[in-house]
């Protein structure tokens, strides 16, 4: 992490794909050092490029994440209906562009069919087990979601329970949970 961002912590983002629905949830805490700066940040956004439903959750610098969201929307307009290609093109730009490669954020993104983690190192990962998690409490939320995945029917319930568990453990994660869902059940 760049030295100017080393004291910024906070957020847990989790995405779960189950039974034709994909949910992404995030907490609202932003901290600087040992101080909570804000507890109600909205780090899960619903985008509608070309009428397509896309949900993005981000961990890291908020300003950097919004720059990446704008770029992702442009990629989705260039490659309509193709989240996979848009994510790959964003990751390539993020890794190679002189300005973008300094951005400090990670994204969890879905179109209701696919679920990806996009990072600044050029990675576009489709997580195993239909669960993606990033951020300071990401590993806690991932473990919790894996433990309850088979016992819960709803992707929303899995996200909510996993994020609550992460918030109980991670000091950089709070219980102010925002969840967005795309339901493709017919």
Domain ranges for the chain? 3-178
Query: Is the overall model pTM greater than 0.75, yes or no?
Result: yes
Q: What is the pLDDT along the chain (186 residues), one digit of tens a residue?
A: 343 444 445 689 999 999 999 999 999 998 887 888 889 989 999 988 877 899 999 988 778 888 888 989 999 999 998 999 999 999 988 888 777 777 788 899 999 999 999 987 778 999 999 999 999 999 999 999 999 999 988 999 999 999 999 999 999 999 999 999 999 865
Q: Who contacts 99 (Cβ-Cβ below 8 Å, separation ≥6)?
A: none
Distance of CA 74 to the CA centre of its chain: 18
Distance of CA 56 to the CA centre of its chain: 5
The question of whether 31 is a catalytic residue gets the answer no
- End-to-end alpha carbon distance in the chain: 43
Mutual angle of helices 83-96 and 62-78, in 10-degree steps: 130
* Superfamily name with CATH number, domain 3-178: Aminohydrolase, N-terminal nucleophile (Ntn) domain (3.60.20.10)
Q: Over the range 134-163, which residues count as b (16 or more CB within 10 Å of their CB) and which as e? A: bbbbbebbbbbbbeebeebeebbbbbbbbb
Q: Which residues pair with 59 in a beta bridge?
A: 106
Question: Could you tell me the sign of the dihedral formed by the alpha carbons of 166, 11, 38, 34, in that order?
Answer: positive
> In angstroms, rounded to a whole number, what is the distance separating the alpha carbons of residues 159 and 36?
23
């Amino acid at each position: 992490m760049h030295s100017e961002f080393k004291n910024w912590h906070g957020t847990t983002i989790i995405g779960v794909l189950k039974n034709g629905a994909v949910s992404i949830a995030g907490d609202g805490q932003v901290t600087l050092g040992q101080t909570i700066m804000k507890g109600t940040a909205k780090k899960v956004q619903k985008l509608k490029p070309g009428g397509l439903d896309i949900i993005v959750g981000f961990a890291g610098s908020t300003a950097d994440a919004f720059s990446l969201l704008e770029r992702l929307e442009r990629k989705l307009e260039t490659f309509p209906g193709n989240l996979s290609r848009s994510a790959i093109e964003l990751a390539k730009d993020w890794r190679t562009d002189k300005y973008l490669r300094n951005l400090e954020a990670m994204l969890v993104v879905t179109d209701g069919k696919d679920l990806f983690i996009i990072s600044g190192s050029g990675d576009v990962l489709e997580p195993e087990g239909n669960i993606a998690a990033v951020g300071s409490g990401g590993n806690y939320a991932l473990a919790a979601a894996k433990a309850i995945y088979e016992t819960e029917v709803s992707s929303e319930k899995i996200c909510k329970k996993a994020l609550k568990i992460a918030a109980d453990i991670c000091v950089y994660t709070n219980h102010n949970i925002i969840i967005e869902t795309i339901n493709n059940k017919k």
